[in-house]
Structure 1
Amino acid sequence: MQHRYRTIVAVLAAALAVGVSPPAAWASPSDDPQLSQSLDPDQQIVHGERVLRTGHVDMGPRFDNGRWRFLIHDDARKADPGAASVWRHPDETVLQVADVARLPVPADPAYAFIGAEPATPVWVVPQTQNPDVVWVGWNTQDPQVMQRVDRGVTLSLTGVQGPGVVTVYLHSGDFGKPQVLWDSRRAEPQPVWVDVNTHTHANWVFTRPGAYLLRLEVKAQLRDGTTVSDTQLIRFAVGTATPAADALAATWSGSAGPAAPAPLPGTSEAAPSPWPFVVIAVVIAVVLVAGVAVAARARRARRRVFAARTGAGR
């Protein structure tokens, strides 16, 4: 009995552990010393078209005058102490992946998920910085984000538009298998849980040159119970010959994704038709009435049988 009790407790503990963990792939901080950083709360959010070809770049949430936004952190100061690191708007920013980023696909079957034959050249934004290639990652280190967010955020890929396959994966560096986070061939949203105060970089692989749009959503629950979310298109121009202007001008032509866009100010969404609910209510009412009628007939029948038996016994 005691052994059974311990088993039940262990099972319940495991279930609770699963229950409190977000149902998503985990993107944990690396031990890479280059990932050690803290963000200045006074860094500006700037407007203006910008092509980022090299340097340190993070995507992440930021509060803009109290509004939850998904922005791109251009850490220009990391490479040039005289420059200013700023936050940029994704619809004004292009991440250019030059041909120097081309690498052959490994012959290892563990990399079959890339979607190209072994030895085929693909464009790779590496997890570890290559100074000649834009270094793309994400962070949840904005001071207000760390102060106001409860536990962490969910970063989801909800769609990809481009000429080739896009995969994003982590590699621990200890000869373990790649951990695939996102794959453009999957139609469903692909969530990744990211704790607050996290700074992570991953491997971004593009099988063909051209302009790509990656539709990303960052969602979180704040400590006050409010749920916040923002979805943006991250623009990549892959290949030296791909004009950044093509990525900048690209528009989303796919589905709207799992979340319907919010109505514009001054408009209202059409109310759902009440007729399906009316039909369901009518059907339920008919069934209830029929049930009551059948029950009443049954009671009357039992009374008649009882009365007949009682009269026969006199």
Structure 2
Amino acid sequence: MQLRRRALQTALAAALATGLLAGTAGTAHAVVTLTTGHVDVLDVDYDGTNLILSVLDDNGGSPVERAPSDVIIEVPASAKVPVSGSGPWAFLGNGGYAWILDQSPIGGQIWAGWNTTEIANNALKNNKVTFKLASVTGPAGGGFSVYGVDSFGDPIKLFDSGDGTPDYLDVPRNTHAHYNWGFDKAGTYTVKFEVTAKRADNTNVTTGEKTFTFVVVP
């Protein structure tokens, strides 16, 4: 337990230092570590001109939209589960284990999702946005994935850094969804997402790449 605690403290300290330096020169940001409860990791809004990508923290009295650079998402040791690592599940895990934030709520863990419900009808062409997993940096041998499970118990991969990035996913407006977020090894992951769309007048709009930090506890 002491080793696990020290590992977490070290990882959080490193991630915190990175986060505090992530803003503009001379500007320090208060970094918040989220450990449990409902969090829409990819919360997309459109204000009529700009597409905005935030982290929606739904753990207080009212939801709070946070800049991704101001957030560390902790994946606890309790999220470590055995995985087969073979067949359709070969993408998930390292050494027979993976850390998974489940698509259903589990006490003591983040319930991670995404949200496009604040985008007005017909504000964007085809009423959709495109999620782009731009890059993932993590521990050696540590892949990142987001996936669902079909009625036969087989995975439906939405994002998988193990077979290369970028990955793309079209998401309709007015979507609020939860899937499984998988991490192959303990450590700190830097995950970059970008959301793009076309406005109703056919011009392109983008959030730009945003950096999300996950700390996976051994």
Q: TM-score range by the shorter chain?
A: 0.7 to 0.9
Q: CA deviation at 1:207?
A: 1.4
Shift of 1:137: 1.2
Alpha-carbon distance between aligned partners in 2 of 1:143 and 1:195, rounded to the nearest angstrom: 10
Alpha-carbon spacing, 1:148–1:188, altered in 2? closer, same or farther (3 Å): same
Indicate the residue corresponding to 2:18 in structure 1: none
State the TM-score, normalizing by the size of structure 1: 0.55
Contact 2:39 2:113 in 1 (8 A): yes
Residues 66 and 165 of structure 1, relative CA distance in 2, 3 Å threshold? same
Say if 2:47 is the partner of 1:70: no
Higher helix share: 1
Structure of higher CA gyration radius: 1
Q: Distance in 2 between matches of 1:115 and 1:238?
A: 13
Aligned position for 1:301: none
Question: Aligned equivalents of 1:176 and 1:143: distance in 2?
Answer: 33
Which of 95, 99, 117 is 2:73 aligned to?
Answer: 95
- Contact 2:85/2:91 (CA < 8 Å) preserved in 1? no
> 1:1-314 maps to which residues of 2 (within 5 A)?
48-58=30-40, 59-63=42-46, 66-77=49-60, 83-106=61-84, 109-117=87-95, 120-144=96-120, 146=121, 148-150=123-125, 151-163=127-139, 164-172=142-150, 174-230=151-207, 231-239=209-217
Aligned-residue CA RMSD (Å): 2.0
Q: 1:69 to 1:216 in 2, by over 3 A?
A: same
- Segments of 5+ residues of structure 1 without an aligned counterpart are 1-46, 78-82, 241-314
Tell me: CA distance 1:99–1:84, structure 2 relative to 1, closer, same or farther (3 Å).
Answer: same
Q: Which has the higher contact order (CA 8 A, sep 6+)?
A: 2
Aligned length: 185
Contact 2:85/2:93, CA 8 A, preserved across alignment: no
TM-score by length of 2: 0.77
Shift of 1:105: 0.6
Kept in 1, the 8 Å contact 2:44–2:119? The answer is no
